[in-house]
Amino acid sequence: MNVFLSATTVGLILAVLALGVVISYGVLRVVDLTVDGAFTAGAAVTGMLLVQGADATIATLAGGLAGTVCGLLTGLFQTRLRVPQLLAGMITTTGLYSINLLLLAGGNLPLAVPQTVFEAFAALAPAIPAEITAIAVGVLVVASLVVTLHRFFRSTLGLALLAVGDNAVMAESVGVNTGAMTVLGLGLANGLVALAGALFAQYQGFANVQMGLGMLVAGLASVVLGDSLLRARFIGRRLAGGVAGALIIRYAVAGALLAGLDASALKLLTAILLLAVLVLPDRMRQLAGGWRRD
């Protein structure tokens, strides 16, 4: 039962990451390598502030803001300096590694602090088990973000962002500033990624310079799986699909651990899941088409 509860909490935290990837990959059609560095940056900034005695909510929001800055930089590299998409994210993430090392005072920062955001909520209802409270926090954060993002994408600014992702040439022909929209989208996406990192560090009780490794793959797997399951053609379903995909993957990981899989193989399992999600739907459709012809 504890494994299931923990998987649910981590799945909800990584659903925040998936929502960020929905914006960069699902909307802007960009594979943004900034994700791994931004996730760690959110954890590092939040951890550093918590250790210095900052309020947990303020520290968490500051971690998200740090990721927004990272995304804005990547967007400016792409639009102003004409750096290719993959290289722009790679440059930002490479630079962030050194910055995160400095923030974490050597690479690992235990969060032996008076109160994290999860403990702050747990203090409001001390009779409720801490793991249930953590899940409640995750549900509250994810639900709030999904509703807010759905409303944003129905606004004029959000529709402009969707238009750039669907057809940048056509969007520019009707007066949309595609460069500004790209910078905005990447900033928003990496802000959510870093917010996930901030929450993840507080839940785990430490921040580590390597904790963002593979998070881009995890986010892509969540988004692609959600799109496949919900046939997400509209933004509301894309957002819901990202959340559902993150939870399903964490339950798959939890099941693999219960079955005896070594914890060091979790990244490999995530990569295999992403490959399966990308390949299997097409294979199944091909097989179904062959059966119908027969």
Convert the pLDDT of each residue in 164-176 to its tens digit.
999 998 999 988 9
Distance CA 225, CA 16 (A): 15
Average pLDDT for residues 23-34, to the nearest whole number? 94
Helices (H), the chain: 2-21, 34-51, 56-79, 85-103, 117-124, 130-152, 156-166, 168-173, 178-204, 215-230, 235-258, 266-293
Inform me whether the pLDDT recorded for 85 exceeds 60.
yes
Question: What's the total number of domains in the chain?
Answer: 1
Q: Please check whether residue 289 lies inside any domain of the structure.
A: no
Q: Please check whether residue 27 lies inside any domain of the structure.
A: yes
Residues 6+ apart with CB under 8 A from 275: none
For 189-223, write each residue's pLDDT tens digit: 999 999 999 999 999 999 999 999 989 989 998 99
The domain in which residue 126 lies consists of 2-213
Q: Please check whether residue 247 lies inside any domain of the structure.
A: no
Q: Please check whether residue 177 lies inside any domain of the structure.
A: yes
Distance CA 112, CA 249 (A): 30
For 244-275, write each residue's pLDDT tens digit: 999 999 998 888 888 887 777 777 887 887 78
Distance CA 171, CA 178 (A): 7
Inform me whether the pLDDT recorded for 286 exceeds 70.
no
Burial of 276: CB neighbours in 10 Å, binned 0-12, 13-18, 19+ = middle
Q: Please check whether residue 14 lies inside any domain of the structure.
A: yes
Average pLDDT for residues 136-162, to the nearest whole number? 96
Q: Please check whether residue 40 lies inside any domain of the structure.
A: yes
How many residues are present in the chain?
294
Q: Please check whether residue 239 lies inside any domain of the structure.
A: no
The predicted structure's pLDDT at residue 233? 74
Average pLDDT for residues 110-138, to the nearest whole number? 89
pTM: 0.93
Q: Please check whether residue 224 lies inside any domain of the structure.
A: no
What are the structure tokens assigned to 267, written together?
């990244």
Name which residue leads in pLDDT, 232 or 115. 115
Contact 67, 42 (CB under 8 A): yes
The CA radius of gyration of the chain, in Å to the nearest whole number, is 19
β-strand partners of 108: 208
